[in-house]
Structure 1
Amino acid sequence: MKGNMNNMMKQMQKMQKKMMQAQDELHEMTFEATAGGGMVTVKANGKKEIIDVEIKEEVVDPDDIDMLQDLILAATNEVLNQIDEKTNDTMGQFTKGLNMPGMF
């Protein structure tokens, strides 16, 4: 019985190390989304930190600030969704079959 417990603990430690490596790799990735046919581009890293926003000059209309705000929101939300999907795909492999509520 003790041997099985030690073996299980080693496997859990190995899985934890792989999970941490995967998370580190995710944090280093860059994600990009656009809105308005490329008029607004938002880039973020895997930590969900916005690292760049590009706005084409022709979309800047002082009389239509609402449209520009909508484009920025749309691109930002899309890039954050991309990060969530990649995180769930990557980290989900570690919880497959474990049936643990609240885990990815």
Structure 2
Amino acid sequence: MKSRLPKGYGGNMNDMVKRAQEMQNEMQKAQEELEAMTFTTTVGGGAVEVVVTGKKELQSLTIKPEVVDPEDIEMLQDLIISAVNEGMRQVEERSDEDIQRITGGMSVPGLF
């Protein structure tokens, strides 16, 4: 026995599948573009600068000499953590923006 969809429903389903495939292709392209990007973040008035890739990898870390105080290593550690976390947040934010742009806010289970 063949299952049947209501009249006019088949074209709709085909359109939905086609659109899902298009969105998946757009997401793959957006992911590749994101991975090629870098995000630069500074904290502490420019005392610490990090560059994070779209792959969420720390690419570089620059520390101004005047912020290095052997008596206050904790402050330097906090600045580094803050800068790295902000860089990662920027990557995540860009990724979320791409998903929203491609899907129009629609949730597609199993697509992403």
Class of the TM-score when normalised by the shorter of the 2 chains: 0.7 to 0.9
| Other-structure match for 2:20 | 12
**Distance across 1 between alignment mates of 2:101 and 2:29:** 13
TM-aligned CA deviation for residue 66 of structure 1: 0.8
Decide which structure has the larger Cα Rg and report it. Answer: 2
| Other-structure match for 1:94 | 102
* Change beyond 3 A, Cα 1:80–1:97: closer
Matched residue of 2:17: which SS? helix
Task: Percent identity, please.
Answer: 50
| Other-structure match for 2:58 | 50
Contact 1:23 1:91 in 2 (8 A): no
**Distance across 2 between alignment mates of 1:72 and 1:93:** 32
**Distance across 2 between alignment mates of 1:34 and 1:94:** 30
| Other-structure match for 1:65 | 73
**Distance across 2 between alignment mates of 1:92 and 1:48:** 20
Aligned-pair Cα RMSD in Å? 2.2
**Distance across 2 between alignment mates of 1:97 and 1:64:** 46
Matched residue of 1:98: which SS? coil
TM-score of the superposed pair, with normalisation by structure 2: 0.79
**Distance across 1 between alignment mates of 2:97 and 2:21:** 21
Q: Which ranges in structure 2 are unaligned for 5 or more consecutive residues? A: 1-8
TM-aligned CA deviation for residue 97 of structure 1: 4.5
TM-score of the superposed pair, with normalisation by structure 1: 0.84
**Distance across 2 between alignment mates of 1:42 and 1:24:** 21
**Distance across 2 between alignment mates of 1:98 and 1:58:** 49
| Other-structure match for 1:79 | 87
Contact 2:23 2:103 in 1 (8 A): no
